[in-house]
């Protein structure tokens, strides 16, 4: 198992800057996901690691070998980087059978026939496609094509796996299935893996480490737990989580020694050591961290229901007072009517506070 390291990487296309600055270390054997909206530079980063794009500057290291360094005049082409890559489109060669798709690169490496045959069988078995060996890609379903691409990767036995939104062309059910398989694959192959996606569920479920990118910069780098619970800035807070994070802009008040956050008629206790430069603060609360009661309770805020969207296992509620509105997430299939009243209370331990100017988390 070997690490991947990017230092001071920058990539632009003419005047358009795709990645402004990137320092990234991927530990040996880790599964790292780069997550971000389209155009954030995540695919560019992957292609730079693969060698398909040439960065303006920076150093890229695979294992202990430097594969790119502008300053030292080193540039190793993709064909000599020993990587495995899965594209969104799977990139199966349409004029070759499944078998040929998998063995082409092995044959080019001049491996022995028995070695090739063994790897081929092994790979087909792992993705359960033994029966489809002589089919052409056009004769396979989307999920099966995806598996051929995975089998090709398995047979190649590369030290590094790169995946560019490999699941985004599959339907929802198949996607969940393939997610599990990719996770298995990573464990079995023990390869250092970089996974690029705009789907936060994939990122949170698959990864050891998530890197959130936006406009060519890393917004946060951490475990899925950290990213979800302690977003280091407002962008990450709002980007991660579905339904969206509630954000409230309000002012801290001192109420008899207890610091309070106030926004309209909502007010709750906050840590006293958070002092903003200006008067205001932004507080973010996950929809599932607001407690809900159907009956009136002491000190809880009364809100009116605006919409009810049951999704089966849970229900998304939209509620408001005269001054503020919020999203709530409750387990179970809730049947209520618009206009009904609820009482809510904020779980203060889960609230994050942000400086409105720098948009940084005040705790970190």
| Chain residues in the site for another protein (CB under 8 A) | 8-10, 20-21, 50-52, 54, 56-58, 70-75, 77-85, 87, 89, 91, 93-95, 104-105, 108-109, 152, 156, 162, 217-218, 233, 358-360
Q: Report the alpha-carbon distance of residue 328 to residue 299 in Å, rounded.
A: 18
Minimum distance, C-beta of residue 21 to another protein, in the bound complex (Å): 4
Which one, 168 or 358, has the nearer CB to another protein? 358
Minimum distance, C-beta of residue 30 to another protein, in the bound complex (Å): 20
Which one, 152 or 286, has the nearer CB to another protein? 152
Minimum distance, C-beta of residue 329 to another protein, in the bound complex (Å): 29
- Read out DSSP for 299-349? TPEEEEEEEEEE-SSEEEEEEE-SS-EEEEEEES-----TT-EEEEEE-GG
Minimum distance, C-beta of residue 310 to another protein, in the bound complex (Å): 38
Which one, 90 or 132, has the nearer CB to another protein? 90
Which one, 119 or 287, has the nearer CB to another protein? 119
Q: Give the side-chain half-sphere CA count within 13 A for 70.
A: 12
Label each residue of 157-174 as H, E or C.
CCCEEEEECCCCCCCHHH
Minimum distance, C-beta of residue 72 to another protein, in the bound complex (Å): 6
Which secondary structure element, helix H or strand E, spans residue 240, and what is its range?
A: none
Q: Report the alpha-carbon distance of residue 207 to residue 32 in Å, rounded.
A: 5
Which one, 32 or 219, has the nearer CB to another protein? 219
Which one, 79 or 188, has the nearer CB to another protein? 79
Distances (CA, A) of 350 to 226, 229, 288, 312: 12, 7, 10, 25
Minimum distance, C-beta of residue 35 to another protein, in the bound complex (Å): 17
Q: Report the alpha-carbon distance of residue 226 to residue 8 in Å, rounded.
A: 24
- What is the SS3 assignment for 44? helix
């Amino acid at each position: 198992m070997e690490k991947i390291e990017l230092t001071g990487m920058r990539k632009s296309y003419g005047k358009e800057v795709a990645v402004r600055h990137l320092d990234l270390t991927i530990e040996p054997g880790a599964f790292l996901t780069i997550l971000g909206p389209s155009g954030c530079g995540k695919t560019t980063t992957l292609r730079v690691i693969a060698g398909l794009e040439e960065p303006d500057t920076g150093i890229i290291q695979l294992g202990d070998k430097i594969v790119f360094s502008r300053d030292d005049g080193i540039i190793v082409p993709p064909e000599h980087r020993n990587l495995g890559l899965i594209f969104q489109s799977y990139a199966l060669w349409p004029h070759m059978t499944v078998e040929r798709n998998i063995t082409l690169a092995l044959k080019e490496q001049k491996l022995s026939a028995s070695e090739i045959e063994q790897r081929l069988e092994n790979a087909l078995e792992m993705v359960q496609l033994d029966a489809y060996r002589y089919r052409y890609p056009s004769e396979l379903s989307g999920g099966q094509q995806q598996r051929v691409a995975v089998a090709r990767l398995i047979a190649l036995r590369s030290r590094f796996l790169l995946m560019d939104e490999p699941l985004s062309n599959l339907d929802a059910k198949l996607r969940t299935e393939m997610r599990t398989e990719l996770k298995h694959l990573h464990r079995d192959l023990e390869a250092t893996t970089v996974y690029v996606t705009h789907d936060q569920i994939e990122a949170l479920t698959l990864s050891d480490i998530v890197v959130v990118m936006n406009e060519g910069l890393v917004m946060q780098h951490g475990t899925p737990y950290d990213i979800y619970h302690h977003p280091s800035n407002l962008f990450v807070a709002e980007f991660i989580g579905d339904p969206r994070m509630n954000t409230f802009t309000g002012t801290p008040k001192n109420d008899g020694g207890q610091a309070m956050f106030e926004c309209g008629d909502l007010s709750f206790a906050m840590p006293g050591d958070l002092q903003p430069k200006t008067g205001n603060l932004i507080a973010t609360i996950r929809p599932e961290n607001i407690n809900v009661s159907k009956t009136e309770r002491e000190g809880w805020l009364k809100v009116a229901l605006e919409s009810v969207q049951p999704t089966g296992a849970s229900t998304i509620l939209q509620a408001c007072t005269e001054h503020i509105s919020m999203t709530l997430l409750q387990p179970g299939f809730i049947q209520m009517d618009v206009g009904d009243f609820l009482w809510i209370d904020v779980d203060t331990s889960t609230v994050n506070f942000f400086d409105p100017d720098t948009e940084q988390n005040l705790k970190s």
